[in-house]
Amino acid sequence: MRDLSIIIATLSLFFSLQHVAICAQIYTPPDNIALDCGSSTSGNSAVPGGRKWTGDKDSKVALIEESSSKSVFATALSQSSSILRVPYLTARISISQFTYVFPVTAGQKFIRLHFYPAQYQGFDRSKNFFSVKVGSYSLLNNFSASLTAQYLGEA
Ligand SMILES: *[C@@H]1O[C@H](CO)[C@@H](O)[C@H](O)[C@H]1NC(C)=O
């Protein structure tokens, strides 16, 4: 999903530059949360690029499970050493809908979703379809990271 990430990152940069040009000051997001799904890292794990990821067991982010079949933490069965372990090695997997609740201020937000399709114990990578909604907005609908990567000819 590198291409989509780059597109989203490029969009973010574009809007940031617009903001700089108009306001002549660097945009500092009031809320800056990088969530590492499926990770139990309670502190921050710095990765190249400077972003500090926090595992989704962190108390600032609430998780609401909407079914009695709970989500599980998973670690990819294998991963190329060229792929960053954070945030790509771990995942939260569920067959039911669940919700993350982020404490944020009012106003516009940039949302960036990172994907790396991998094989997890007991889950068929080719059947990983999911949707992402924020409030009434649908960000992804029946999305497959592995099909998208396959289509793009990327890992
Ligand atoms: C999601 O997409 C796959 C592949 O195109 C399709 O087989 C499946 O029925 C779709 N699921 C939903 C809920 O739309």
pLDDT band at 23 (very low <50, low <70, confident <90, very high): low
What does the pLDDT read at residue 100?
Answer: 93
Confirm or reject: Cβ of 102 under 6 Å from ligand 1.
Answer: no
**Residue whose structure tokens are 């600032």:** 60
Q: Count helices and strands (H / E) in the chain.
A: 3, 9
Which residue's alpha carbon is nearest to atom 11 within ligand 1?
Answer: 142
What span, in angstroms and rounded, lies between the C-alpha atoms of 68 and 42?
A: 25
Taking the CA of residue 142 as reference, the ligand 1 atom at the shortest distance is 1
Percent of the chain residues past pLDDT 90, beyond the cut: 28
Contact present, 145 and 125 (Cβ < 8 Å): no
Confirm or reject: Cβ of 129 under 6 Å from ligand 1.
Answer: yes
Instruction: Look at residue 6 and tell me whether its pLDDT is greater than 90.
Output: no
Dihedrals φ, ψ of 41, to 5°?
A: -60, 115
25, 135, 131: which is closest to 145 by C-alpha? 131
User: Three-class SS of residue 44?
Assistant: strand
Q: Dump pLDDT digits (tens) for 44-94.
A: 667 766 788 888 876 678 889 988 888 888 999 988 888 888 889 999 998
60, 56, 52: which is closest to 41 by C-alpha? 56
Percent of the chain residues past pLDDT 70, beyond the cut: 79
The answer to pTM > 0.85 is: no
